[in-house]
Structure 1
Amino acid sequence: MVTGAHTAVHHACTGLSGSSQRSSRYAVDNCAVFTAPMDVPTPAPTTPVPTPATAVAPPPPPRLPSAKLNPYNGFHHGTSLLHGWLPLTIEIVAAVLLIVALVRLTRGWWLIRVPICLALGVIAAFVARTVMNNEGLASDPAPVTLWICVGATVGALALVVAGWPGARWWQRTAAVIAVPFALASTAVVLNQWVGYYPSVQSAWSALTAGPLPHQTDMDALAGMRGTHPADGVIVPIDTGDDASGFKHRTEYVYLPPAWFAGPTPPALPAVMMIGGEFNTPADWVRSGQIMPAVDKFTAAGNGTAPILVFVDSSGSFNNDTECVNGPRGAAADHLTKDVVPYVESKFGVPADPAKWAVVGWSMGGTCATDLTVMHPDLFHTFVDIAGDLGPTAGTKAQTVSRLYGGDATAYDRFDPLTVMAAHGPYSGVAGLFDDLTPPHRPGNGKGGNHFHLPVVDENRIGVGGQDGVMDTGEVGAAEKLCEQGRADGIDCTIHTTQGGHTWQFAAAAFTSSLPWVSARLGLPVPASA
């Protein structure tokens, strides 16, 4: 569970220099760790970007959020599905109904039927846990309560069948009603784990396909030219699949107020936004709830901000493509050959890699790194939020089979470490890794003055899973990628935060990185950002 103060530290890889530099506090290979607040490296775009006459000069490189800023603001609106009375009530009602359904006085009931029901529940929980682990469906292990709820759901079903003969009406009623409540408890715990739906209202909006905040139609854009709306707008787009053949869902573009100034759109830069393994293109808006932070940043900049492109990297909710080309679809081709040209032609984004960034969360973080190192002709900036070492769908053998149809050479073509080593020196490319570290990570608690993210109210965040593997699975991956990247000329920084693998962390990481990304893209950054 994510409670108390969240400790953050910065790593900066020093490259392959023949001898490792060591900090007195902590160092991993060639990546020194700094335990005080520090600036993100000064952005250095390859192409000079003219500053508009009305804009002020960019301030010094943006810092991490101050201790007075709560980056998780906005997740407490509506009836919470993450904490509070509703999830607890569902779980208590399920437990009470199961107890009522169990109440019998016969000897055979307790010696034969109840043990069978319990055994079926345990087997179901074990099978579900094994499948999730073997399929590599999550970077962060699920909480134990999830498997308890899975077992309780199957056990409740077994109780209905086993206890029906000879049961009284109220026992049958309790057993039947216990099934949906146990299933609801499973859904609640699953949602608490990843923070997918922060509230009842956000879940209802997503499940009923309600409009996104500030959403309008493409046809309405022409009538807004020459205006300066208070907030930007989100428009649904169809980028087609002519180049990739990738069947995708509706994607979205956020246009800041500055895009509407003048008779023709200004040449604003763009940020490709990629979600997690189980996703919809609108997840950054619905589950991440980033628009209040985007609106605040845009207002501080007099309406100027990057265009945000919310893409479909999967084609369906549970199709884990890892943004590669393979049996699950040519996702990489879709993002680079369908989306990028479409956005450039429709919204006036310059065909310049210095004007494009990729931000991704979880699987999307892996995609952000991979797309940038594979296509430096398209992207010069990336933010990898809790991504992996490379595209993965289990073990290496499983990944080769599942993602590439058994083609081992395709694995190498999409492996970022292999790609960087083969590419050689990059020019003008920079990346920011925002990753999670468990409380026991060596060195996190050592040294002098630490930078602390603010104390976060538990009612506003997802729980996250058990943090036992995040150390090597995320931070360790970032260290290896950053080390190889620095050796090949990529300017990279690692920002680690103690917390859970949830959408709330993803949103906070995006919010804190937005000023840096904007500066990298050549936009003036508001002094208040």
Structure 2
Amino acid sequence: MGPDSLPLLGALAGLTVLAPVLAAALWDRGRRRGRTAVRVATTALCLLTLASTVLVAANRQAETYPSWSDLLGSSQGRQAVPADPRSAQDRAPGRFVTIRVTGAASGVSLPVLAYLPAAYDAAPDLRFPVVEAFDGFPGSPGSWIRGLGVAGFLDGEISAGRMAPTVVLFPPQTTDPAVDTECTNLAGGPRMESFLTVDVPAAARAQLRVRGDRAGWGVIGYSAGGYCAANLLLRHPGTYAAGASLSGYADPGIRVGDGSETTTNDDLWRLRHLSLPAVALYLSCARTDLHAMRDETALAALAHAPISLTTAFLPVGGHNMQTWRALEPSAFDWLSSWLAAPTTTGARAVAVPVHPLPPR
């Protein structure tokens, strides 16, 4: 029973209802000193159960901590990849594996979840385009699996022909769930920009049959991951051809430690002061998500040629999973339209050293 499970939420909700009943029953029991202690204890119990219920409900909504190891920040938990929640019949079209990334550039070594389309096994002579997908903070790659149902969307869009068969990577964006990196190289902290833009692509090219050229690589993300997608696209146009930001924003909102949060890691500053790269950028959010809408509108106003800009704004919605699920299919379709197709160029049929997901 994980920290985002329905049984846990139900149990806490039951305790939240019972706690006031218990408090009322014991309120006037005992002598004066003992009665005061009982009142304090039962009041604390009421507050604790209510707060716990609210936090678990919010966690189910945002899929922030899908496992106890994510919540507690244990190093062992960071090595575990979330199990695919689909049934055996549902997951036949595509499958999940993990690859091990040992970061020569970043010094960060972590497992990375990878979605392989059905064509990966059906056509062993092909190399596939790749999308790196970034989650929000707090969050984890499991948020894409459980909260956003990414496997079903990918299978459906690929099966319908709206998206080319594509390998999708879900890399961790921090070494510690309590540390928000915003996909940057923190001064004195984890070098996640180097991990995501150098080490992850190198590991994927070595362990999976994927395209090695920039034309076959893109990024996507929601919330903090939306900032990551846009920022890494602008900072590394030699690595990525296209990027989609869902409810992202213009600056990291954290102290990177080298002052870049107000300059080169601020996308508005980049667009105003640096040469614009020849990339494709997709900006999307709900118009009623005021922070995201403000920043994405400002980015759109500055993103001109050679940037190819597309915007897609929902009339209503919040900064939440429901909005991102609504935006997800069209964003992946758009990305696929900008990425190079699967190719046989330089492909070899080799055994791929991947690690199956552990059973739930």
After TM superposition, the score normalised by the length of structure 2 is: 0.77
Deviations 1:249-274 (A, max 9, x none): x211111111223443x121100000
Q: C-alpha separation between the residues in 1 aligned to 2:123 and 2:300?
A: 41
Shift of 1:86: 8.8
- Kindly indicate whether residue 84 of structure 2 is the aligned counterpart of residue 212 of structure 1: yes
SS at match of 2:98: strand
| Contact 1:386/1:436 (8 A) holds in 2 | yes
Shift of 1:162: 4.4
SS at match of 2:313: strand
| Contact 1:215/1:233 (8 A) holds in 2 | no
SS at match of 1:308: strand
Shift of 1:102: 4.5
| Superposition pairs of residues 101-500 of structure 1, within 5 angstroms | 101-102=23-24, 104-105=27-28, 162-164=36-38, 178=46, 181-191=49-59, 194=62, 196=64, 211-213=83-85, 230-248=92-110, 250-264=111-125, 266-301=126-161, 304-326=164-186, 327-393=188-254, 399=255, 403-404=256-257, 407-409=258-260, 411-427=262-278, 429-438=279-288, 470-471=289-290, 473-486=291-304, 488-497=305-314, 498-500=316-318
Aligned partner (choices 338, 348, 355) of residue 520 of structure 1: 338
| Change over 3 Å in CA distance of 1:211–1:261 after alignment to 2 | same
| Contact 2:219/2:242 (8 A) holds in 1 | yes
Shift of 1:430: 1.2
Deviations 1:303-341 (A, max 9, x none): 952110111111222220011111331110001110012
| Contact 2:62/2:147 (8 A) holds in 1 | no
Question: Cα RMSD over matched residues?
Answer: 3.7
| Contact 2:226/2:244 (8 A) holds in 1 | yes
In structure 1, the gaps of 5 or more residues are 1-78, 114-159, 217-228, 394-398, 439-469, 525-529
| Contact 1:252/1:281 (8 A) holds in 2 | yes
| Change over 3 Å in CA distance of 1:230–1:489 after alignment to 2 | same
SS at match of 1:237: strand
Shift of 1:421: 3.5
| Contact 1:436/1:475 (8 A) holds in 2 | yes
- Kindly indicate whether residue 320 of structure 2 is the aligned counterpart of residue 502 of structure 1: yes
Shift of 1:206: 8.7
Q: C-alpha separation between the residues in 2 aligned to 1:363 and 1:161?
A: 49
Q: C-alpha separation between the residues in 1 aligned to 2:105 and 2:205?
A: 15
User: Partner amino acid for 1:237?
Assistant: I
| Contact 1:205/1:211 (8 A) holds in 2 | no
* Identity level (%): 24
Greater relative contact order (CA < 8 Å, ≥ 6 in sequence) = 1
SS at match of 2:23: helix
Query: How many pairs were matched up?
Result: 325
In structure 2, the gaps of 5 or more residues are 72-76, 343-360
Q: C-alpha separation between the residues in 1 aligned to 2:43 and 2:18?
A: 10
Q: C-alpha separation between the residues in 1 aligned to 2:129 and 2:268?
A: 28
Residue of structure 2 in register with 1:129 after alignment: none
Q: C-alpha separation between the residues in 1 aligned to 2:97 and 2:327?
A: 24
| Contact 1:87/1:188 (8 A) holds in 2 | yes
| Change over 3 Å in CA distance of 1:318–1:86 after alignment to 2 | closer
Q: C-alpha separation between the residues in 2 aligned to 1:306 and 1:161?
A: 65
SS at match of 1:325: coil
Q: C-alpha separation between the residues in 2 aligned to 1:204 and 1:105?
A: 39
Q: C-alpha separation between the residues in 1 aligned to 2:117 and 2:302?
A: 36
| Contact 1:256/1:303 (8 A) holds in 2 | no
SS at match of 2:138: coil
After TM superposition, the score normalised by the length of structure 1 is: 0.54
| Contact 1:432/1:493 (8 A) holds in 2 | yes
Shift of 1:409: 4.8
Shift of 1:411: 4.2
Shift of 1:239: 1.2
Shift of 1:359: 0.4
| Change over 3 Å in CA distance of 1:302–1:346 after alignment to 2 | farther
Shift of 1:485: 1.3
Q: C-alpha separation between the residues in 1 aligned to 2:262 and 2:181?
A: 13
SS at match of 2:264: helix
Q: C-alpha separation between the residues in 2 aligned to 1:286 and 1:206?
A: 14
Q: C-alpha separation between the residues in 1 aligned to 2:172 and 2:67?
A: 20
